[in-house]
Structures are given as structure tokens and as C-alpha cells.
Amino acid sequence: MIKLEYINWDPIYKFNLWKGFFIHIYSLMFIISFLLGWYIMKYIYKNDNIHRKYLEPLFIYTFFGTLIGARFGQIFFYDLSYFSDHWIEALLPIKKNNDHSLLGIIKGYEFIGYRGLSSHGATIGILLSNFFYCKKILKKKSFIWLCDRLSIVVAISAVFIRIGNFFNSEIVGKPCNTKLPWAVKFIQMDTEYGAIVPRHPTQIYESISYLFIFLFLCYFYKEKKLHDGFLSGIFFTFLWSARFILEFMKEPQGEEIINFLYLNTGQWLSIPFIILGLFFINLYRIKKRFFSL
């Protein structure tokens, strides 16, 4: 019997669609997350007696809020020095490569998709875009009501995004014991972290954590007596707590803007979201106490 000490991971990470035009698995995971989110919200709107005409604007607001927020979060939180000299790459899903041409037209650039995205930035973008969606489109429901439903979608989307990170060999974990059965040797990993050695597959750790959070949210959604803000509270508290803990097992990401008291940028940015989650969980008690004064 062969004893597996670690996993050599060298996947096919992109598909050639047409004349050098590739789609990366990360981009595919991004598309899947939005399509799945569409069908989940379609079910939720039907279940909560919300007309389908409000669904398409929700998709548009959420899509652009996610993309813009995630991209700008990556620029300002992790790679400001690089993107300040490569502003075209900051705005478009391309990367400078003198050996390639984009669709055989634009020489010196290669289509890579939006791989540089920040989950903290995406969360801020989703919150802001859907705040305006509630004010302009879905006026009959509160912003917190919408956040409760969107938290279900975002949780399952995060599962697929981390799978995409795994295929891209990015957000890798720190080196670990080679006898750990699920340790992964990322063959495609950049030389930024030194030798290619067995590491913790932190992307998979996160993906599994987010899957359980998604299942919990689905269960609690069926409990109709829960107060507004409870689902959002569960989402923010547990998802960002999982992110905070798993950051201890990750290698640094880019040029992080914060590295203080043994905590990195991802951990410091997660703390406000955890606090927000605790606030949402106790929102009913806070409102009850406030209005009883």
C-alpha cells in the first residue's frame, strides 16, 4: 500500500476557448458563483413574495458592487505600489506580457481575468451597492432584510472563489509537516514564497468553513421567527472569524498595508466585520432596550 505523504498539485488552470483566448478556472468559479446566486435569490424572492422584476436590478447592482469593490480593495489593501505603475491592469482583466497578444490585436498584454480581488473590498462594495439598490429599487424592504438574504448567496459564492484560488495556487498556506496527508505541494506557485514545499491548503480550509456557514444560514432562513439582522450577524461573525483564524496559517499576500501586533492586513480588516456581526445578532435586543427607554 502506497502511503501518501503530501499532494503534488499541478492542475490545468485555464482553458483555451478560441485563438489564444483563455478562460481561467478562477474566472469560471466567479461566473458559477453569480449564476448560483441568481437562482438562490430567485427562490428567496419567490418565497418572500417579492416580484421577479426586482431580481435583475439586484443582480446588476451586486455584480458591479462586487467587482469594483473587490478590485479597488486589492489595489489599496495589498498592491498599491504595483498598480500605481500599472493602472491599466488595475482597471482591466489583463496583464502586461511581451510574449502574448490580446485576441491577436493588442500586443504586449494577456487576458488573465480579475484574479487580483479582495474579499474585504468585495464585501464593502456589495454593502454599498445594495444600500443604493434598496433606496432606489426595493423600497418596500429594509436594507438589513436584504443583507440577511444576500448573506446566504455570498457565503456559497465564497466557497467557489476559494476553490478558484486553489486552482490558481494563490493565497497559499505556510509550510507544514510533510507527513500531513492533505499537505499540498503547489507546483505552479510563484517563487515569491521561496521553495516549493508541502503547505497547508488554506484555500480548501476556508472553502469548507464557508460551506458549513452557508448550510447554517440556509437552516436559519427557514426559521421565520428570527429578527432582521440575525442572518447577517451569523454571516459576518462566523465567516470573518474563520478568515481571522485561518490567516495565521497563510503566507503574506502582496504588500500588505497593515502588519501590526502579529496580525496581518486580512485580520485587521476582518475585525470590524466581526464586530458588525455581533451588533446584528443583538440588534433586536438593542432596539428593544433603546425604544423601551
Q: Which pLDDT tens digit goes with each residue over 6-22? A: 777 776 666 776 666 66
pLDDT in 10s for each residue of the chain, 293 residues:
345 567 777 766 667 766 666 677 888 888 999 999 999 999 999 999 999 999 999 999 999 999 999 888 888 887 777 777 767 766 776 666 666 555 545 566 666 666 667 899 999 999 999 999 999 999 889 999 999 999 999 999 999 999 988 988 888 888 887 678 888 888 776 666 777 888 999 999 999 999 999 999 999 998 777 788 999 999 999 999 999 999 999 988 766 666 778 888 889 999 999 999 999 998 777 666 665 54
Global pTM reads 0.85
At how many degrees (to 10) do helices 55-77 and 119-136 cross? 150
Cα(63)–Cα(54) distance, integer angstroms? 14
Residue holding cell 495565521? 248
CB atoms inside a 10 Å sphere around CB 110: 16
Cα(252)–Cα(264) distance, integer angstroms? 8
Longest CA–CA span in the chain (Å) reads 70
Cα(19)–Cα(11) distance, integer angstroms? 21
Residue holding cell 448550510? 215
Tell me if 125 sits within 8 A of 2, measured CB to CB.
no
User: Rounded to whole angstroms, what are the CA distances from 139 to 17, 72, 82, 154?
Assistant: 42, 28, 41, 22
Q: Which three cell numbers stand for residue 3?
A: 502511503
* 200 CB burial (10 A radius; 0-12, 13-18, 19+): buried
Cα(92)–Cα(75) distance, integer angstroms? 12
Give domain limits for the chain: 7-291
Kindly report the length of the chain: 293
* 241 CB burial (10 A radius; 0-12, 13-18, 19+): middle
Closest Cα partner for 195 from 254, 115, 270, 251? 251
Tell me if 253 sits within 8 A of 265, measured CB to CB.
yes
